[in-house]
Amino acid sequence: MTAPTLAGTNGHAPTAQSSNTRGSPNSPGSRGTRDARERIAGLVDPGSFVEFGSEATHRATAFGMERRRPPGDAVVTGCARIGERPVAVFAQDPTSLGGSLGETHAAKIERMAGWAIRARTPLVGLLDSGGARIQEGVSALDGYGRIFRANVALSGRIPQLSVVLGACAGGAVYSPALTDIVIMARDRASMFLTGPKVVKAVTHEDVTADELGGADVHSRRSGVAHLVADDAPHALELARRVLSYLPGSCWEPAPRREPAEPGPLPRIPENQRHAYDVRTVIRGLADAGDFLELHERFARNLVVGFARIEGGPVGFVANQPQALAGVLDINSAEKGARFVRLCDAFGIPLVALVDTPGFLPGTGQETGGVIRKGAKLLYAFAEASVPRVTVVLRKAFGGAYIVMNSKSLGADAVVAWPNSQLAVMGAQGAVDVIYRRELEAEPGRRDELTSHYEAEAMAPGIAAARLSVDEVIEPEDTRRFLAETLRGLAGADVPRFRHDNLPQ
Ligand code: HXC
């Protein structure tokens, strides 16, 4: 399949106009564009950046804008390399017209999107902008409309990363929301549709930028940010790290590294009620114990992120017994669905680690739409065409058993550890339902009936006998099992463009 062009947009490749040395020291915004170029320099391989459009300016004349025409129009754009692989990049300049986006600024970003799809390279945006440039009115809004359209046209084809380095408003946050990964620099970044001043004017609410949309809000509560960095250099380092797991486009295989030994595999508690940190298991299966967790603080009951097995990138999706006992709920389903679709879009195999008592019951979840939203994770796994392997670590109950990449949803291989339990529900609940009469007559039989249910309905050998589990394996054999099955599936017939990465 050939790469689509951005129909109806200025999707043609830009002309290289200069190296990254332009910008008179006396020109408006020169300090800022230098900062924006410094930010790009901190992101890309040394000496690899080539700039486009450094002399481009806006055409607005209203509100005295003819006297404020910074060269470059508050954004630096160009192509470069990261880890020796090509990328398209733009960096907004907050000290020049507030980094706001007008017609020309938008056209420059849109051209880099066109470059990215043509060159089949990731598009990385360094965002620091007050959103649509108020003085340019509807032309600024249309500029955002075209950028959103480009973001959607690239979705699932080209990895798109947004690194938020300052206060971003309006379109400057909606565009990141359409991209694959959002990284926020904790010290300066905030994201909101309308800033504190507008909030104060409209609702009379006094709120700081941090309270409204700081890194804490978006990493813990809204789920907008996938990664939080301490500052700009750290954010740029995280962007490079994310890209090391992703191919240049959906038409390319994911990049491989030299294989490395995993970290130590912990023993997990046998008692089903005892918590542990599933990330220690992931590190015990991953090359060099390396795991890049996304959405670490949001919906902590499900852990998602990138690692490598025998040098090849994989996406881990794991229930976290340490948070809400590892239940699935609305937020974790949406978090998991987006990650599964991201991995599937870019050909990254999936490994599910299952230890969940099921979906969280209750009115909060039901009225919040757990039927509709929980279905997203189910849909994402069922749809995924990349190699997918599941390891049942301890318990897999009810709908959550099915959702977590079960054999019936199309997993290529499912294994279970010997102490695991797979069933419609936990033993206590099941005994209350199916032995109601017996328990009414003889309440003292509860332990006996529970043991009977555990042996007759929950043991992994029963699931293996029904082919719902391919093998029951010892924990220490898991890494080899994953490595060999993923190697065995390397030639699987996976469509090259699969689907977009719709925001969840
Ligand atoms: C024009 C803008 C601007 C904008 C900021 N500036 N935002 N100029 N258009 N959208 C200018 C300011 O006038 C100021 O210029 C300079 O940038 C710095 O702004 P400050 O307010 O002094 O900075 P700070 O206190 O850091 O606050 C940053 C901010 C705030 C929180 C982003 O500027 C703000 O709330 N701006 C408006 C945000 C907004 O509502 N944008 C429109 C969204 S609508 P001087 O000359 O004084 O240095 C949108 C449409 C798409 O984007 C929406 C799609 C869904």
What digits encode the pLDDT tens for the residues 309-334?
999 999 999 999 999 999 999 999 99
**Residue 113 annotated in active site:** no
pLDDT at residue 23, as a whole number? 35
Non-local CB neighbours of 334 within 8 Å, separated by 6+ positions? 223, 299, 373, 376, 377, 504
Task: State the Cα–Cα distance between residues 8 and 275, nearest whole angstrom.
Answer: 54
How many residues are listed for the chain in this entry? 504
Q: What are phi and psi of 151, to 5 degrees?
A: -55, -40
CATH superfamily name and code, 35-245? 2-enoyl-CoA Hydratase; Chain A, domain 1 (3.90.226.10)
Say what the pTM is. 0.92
Q: Which amino acid is at 167?
A: A
384 catalytic residue (yes or no) = no
369 annotated active-site: no
Q: Of ligand 1's atoms, which has the minimum distance to the CA of residue 166?
A: 26
> Among residues 136, 147, 76, 71, which one has the least CA distance to residue 107?
147
CATH of 278-492 given 3.90.226.10, 3.30.390.30, 1.10.10.1590, 3.30.450.20: 3.90.226.10
pLDDT at 502: 92
Q: Which two tokens stand for residue 123?
A: 């598009």
Write the DSSP string, 253-288.
PPP------B-PPPPPPSSTT----HHHHHHTTSBT
Determine if ligand 1 sits within 6 Å of the CB of residue 134. yes
pLDDT at res. 12: 36
The pLDDT of residue 504 is: 85
Residue 401 confidence (pLDDT):
94
Give, as one character, the DSSP assignment of residue 249: S
Closest CA to 7 of 158, 105, 117: 117
Report the separation in Å between the CA atom of 126 and the middle of ligand 1, taken as the mean of its atom positions: 17
* Confidence (pLDDT) at 360: 95
236 touches 43 (CB < 8 A): yes
Question: One fold for both 35-245 and 278-492?
Answer: yes
Q: Which residue minimizes the CA distance to atom 23 of ligand 1?
A: 98
Given 23, 170, 248, 426, the catalytic residue: 170
Residue of 400, 413, 459, 463 marked active site: 400
Does ligand 1 come within 6 angstroms of the Cβ of 171? yes
- Our answer to whether residue 399 is catalytic in this structure is yes
Residues of the chain short of pLDDT 70, as ranges, are: 1-34
What would the pLDDT profile of 206-237 be if each residue is shown by its tens digit?
Answer: 999 999 999 999 999 999 999 999 999 999 99
**Residue 157: CB within 6 Å of ligand 1?**
no
* Token duo for residue 228: 């939080």
Per DSSP, the residues of 174-192 read HHHHHSSEEEEETTT-EEE
Q: What is the pLDDT of residue 88?
A: 98
In this structure, are residues 280 and 262 in contact, taking their beta carbons and an 8 Å threshold? no
Ligand 1 near 457 CB (within 6 A): no
CA 386 to chain centre: 17
pLDDT for the residue 378: 97
Q: Which residue's CA is the closest to the ligand 1 atom numbered 54?
A: 171
Q: How far is the CA of 211 from the centre of ligand 1 (A)?
A: 17
Domain map (residue ranges) of the chain: 35-245, 278-492
